[in-house]
Chains A and B, each alone.
Chain A
Amino acid sequence: MAKLTFSIGGIHPADSKLARDCKIETLPLPDKVYVSMSQHLGAPAKPVVAVGDSVKTGQILAEPGGFISAYVHSPVSGTVKSIGPRKDLAGFNQTHIEIDVQGDEWAEGIDLTPELVTAIPEDTAFILDRIKMNGVVGLGGATFPTHVKLSPPPGKKADCLILNGAECEPFLTSDFRILLERTDEIVVGAAIMQKVLGCCPCVIGIEENKPEAIAAVRASVARLAYPGIRVETLRKRYPQGGEKQLIDAVMHRQVRSGGLPIDVGAVVQNVATSLAVYEAVQKNKPLVTNVLTVTGDCISPDRQHNYLFRIGMPLSFIAEQAGEVPEGAVKLVSGGPMMGKAIANLDAATVKGSSSILYLGESTRRGQQCPCIRCGRCADACPMGLEPFLLKRLWAAGDDSGLEANAVQDCIECGCCQYSCPANIPLLDNIRMAKARVMGIIRARNAKK
């Protein structure tokens, strides 16, 4: 069968899936957890507990602070010690709820049995409510509240639900592991989302470097026999798992500039989100756990792990579980090496969307910057068809209208340009700034209208 891929740009970094054969391990509980109020896209959540309250695992700690926001639940049982600013992994202050951990007693009404529940509720409002009340957000990186994404605006209909199992970022293996170990749950989750979206077909896209996962999901889809779900093999190419690229690969449709996937009838959800949806709807279990990969090119193979963690665990706690920070580590990254964030503060707490702790060695250091030789590699690599060399020049010249005309606002910040630049020019560093400014100008203009 033909392998699907997107049509413009892209790069082929070595996939370095070093932790692919490490089974998911459950981490012990730390003494304290710090639950951030800003672990989703949109407005921060508002705490509904007070200092001194005792909370149970899965109990609501905070409610949405706006339409695009999400519930936050307690990942442990214990006592609320404080509510206040704490530094996140970038060193910025965010409101956190500090909880002294006293055991792991779950709130009532949560089904903790491992049995697979395959019967899908008939009432879509019930499903959406469960997803919302259990704080499910997109776990593919953007942490967009899932119930919002699963409620298309009036007049728009989903033609296809795409389940994103591409995991195109090098090193990351958490999606691969859950595809292998939680296959059936993910497929049921997909069927639930199909139901919400009006029984549209569903494509589960998995990159070709995960043949075991493809086989497992195919078998599960056949066994569970939900209508309209099929598995497609995607070519190994970065950024295959980018939302716009995946829609192009699977549906051969392109989201127009400034538009949303639903405009072309697509809804893209990560496989980890599908698992969270399953747990939220079938088990009434809030999103308080996720799987994270501890890996890197400078730690030995026996120290690579895939961990099931509770949100709010400090990164340093997880890092300690995996042993000392290796000698040669130059940079620690949370997320993939292409789009992840460098960790400036290892004491920061994990959030719903945490997907890895990467230990990168000398190879991550940036090379000496040289003059641009106009080779055009950045433009060839850009999956949005932009011309990064031109955008950087326009940014340096302060030409905002030129930047907008050359579609800087379409940039998905995938890093392909900077990856492929032979002159080590920090293209994306600058384009990100330019994009932020142009987006601000566009927003101000739209607000005026």
Chain B
Amino acid sequence: MDKLTVSPSPHLHSKVSTASIMRDVVIALSPAIVVSILFYGWSEILVLAVSSVSCVLLEWLIAKYLMKRPELFSGWSALVTGLLLAMNLPSTTPWWIAVVGAVVAIGVAKMSFGGLGQNLFNPAITARVFLLISFPVQMTNWTVPNGFIGGVDAISGATPLGIIKEGLKAGESISEVLAANGMNAHTLLRDIGGSGGEISALALIAGFIYLLVRKVVKPWIPLSILATIAAIAAIFNGIDPEHFTGPNFNLITGGVLLGALFMATDYVTSPMSKWGGVIYGVGIGLIVMMIRYFGSYPEGMSFAILIMNCFVPLINRAFHQKKYGRA
């Protein structure tokens, strides 16, 4: 026996660590990653690889050489950012755009705030919005699903939300837009073109259930986002189905699931309390639907999360844990 260790209590520690949490998130993302690779093929693999590798590498370089604090390199967390960024990009994205995204996500949104835990905005979303504004053409050039399990040559096109938005702007009604594009409400939900993370609702939900079971996240934020979106869509769609898309459509398209399940639940940039989370979720849902119905962008999930990120410190101040004996 060597010298004994002495430390203040507690002398036990749970087995959950930051690394194990981030590893769980990667595991939870993997079904959706597999599905998107199957759908989009080699191009998706390239985007995923470039984005993840550059995020991890950049964070390591910045921590070690720029900030001179190598302990700030978070490893798994950087990988999560990289994967989420890739899943927010079209599979046709040129590799250099993914690298630019990584620079913005890690360099600007994360490390310039002081690294893991310090950032105000979700790094992957910040990068996505930056790319969307800077490279609108490349960023909205969505491939219709056509990968290893497709068979037809890749067709480039807009996403369903984009198609409908353009149609509505031109003064058409939804049914006219669908008819003009050879779609009906049925095929709409089957052949959704979009970013890697958008197309595989079931896989995303499966991953999220894994996170719930592992107690990594709590369901309040996603539930309140989805419920708000569904409620608003149901009301407007009920009033005027020809100009406002319905709840099912709005829940599954435009990265709502990816955003609600994996991006809005990012610990660092979401409120910590249950009711704070609900307010945050409702806020995201409201903003998404306002953008979709009345704004000029067809999707809006990224903007909604970024806007609500700003309110997180405020929400954290307003909502506190229920304290013992202080009713």
Contacts and interface: CB of A to CB of B under 8 A. Distances in A.
Give yes or no for direct A-B contact (beta carbon below 8 Å): yes
A372 interface: yes
A196 to B, nearest CB: 26
B273 A254 contact: no
Interface residues of A, number: 66
A413 B16 CA distance: 21
Interface string A8-50: 1001010000000000000000000000000000000000000
A248 B325 CA distance: 9
Given A365-B5, A385-B321, A331 B267 contact: no
Secondary structure of the B contact surface, majority rule: loop
Q: Which of B13, B20, B117 has the most CB of A within 10 A?
A: B13
Nearest to B312: A374
B10 A337 contact: yes
Interface residues of B, number: 37
B326 A364 contact: no
B324 to A, nearest CB: 4
A431 to B, nearest CB: 10
Contacts of B7: 331, 342, 366
B12 A363 contact: yes
A221 to B, nearest CB: 30
A352 to B, nearest CB: 20
A440 B298 CA distance: 59
Given A364-B5, A432-B8, A254 B13 contact: no
A156 interface: no
Interface stretch (A116-124, A159-167, A283-291, A419-427): A419-427
Contacts of B323: 8, 257, 384-386, 407, 410
A185 to B, nearest CB: 31
A57 B314 CA distance: 65
B18 A410 contact: no
B184 interface: no
Nearest to B117: A371
A429 B8 contact: yes
Given A371-B118, A374-B268, A410-B323, A13 B18 contact: no
A438 to B, nearest CB: 15
Interface string B252-275: 000000000000000110001100
A34 B229 CA distance: 71
A296 B321 CA distance: 35
Contact of B18 (A327, A366, A370): A370
A199 interface: no
A410 B320 CA distance: 15
A256 interface: yes
Main SS of the interface on chain A?
loop
B263 to A, nearest CB: 15
A423 B197 CA distance: 29
B16 A330 contact: no
B325 A339 contact: no
Interface string B1-40: 1001111111111101110110000000000000000000
Contacts of A170: 12
Nearest to A90: B6
Contacts of B74: 370-371
Nearest to A339: B9
A373 B6 contact: no
B325 A254 contact: yes
Given A331-B5, A342-B5, A342-B6, A387 B16 contact: no
B14 A420 contact: yes
A322 interface: no
A373 B324 contact: no
Contacts of A338: 9-12
Task: Tell which of B14, B74, B320 has the most Cβ of chain A within 10 Å.
Answer: B14
Interface string B55-87: 000000000000000011010010000000000
B227 interface: no
Contacts of A133: none
Contacts of B321: 8, 379, 382, 385-387
Contact of B13 (A259, A335, A372, A419): A419
Contacts of A422: 14, 16-18, 20-21
Given A256-B325, A331-B6, A423-B18, 12 more contacts: A8-B323, A254-B325, A342-B8, A344-B4, A364-B13, A370-B116, A371-B74, A373-B267, A383-B324, A386-B321, A418-B10, A422-B21
14 contacts: A244-B325, A338-B10, A338-B11, A342-B4, A366-B7, A370-B17, A370-B71, A371-B74, A384-B324, A413-B9, A420-B16, A422-B16, A423-B117, A424-B13
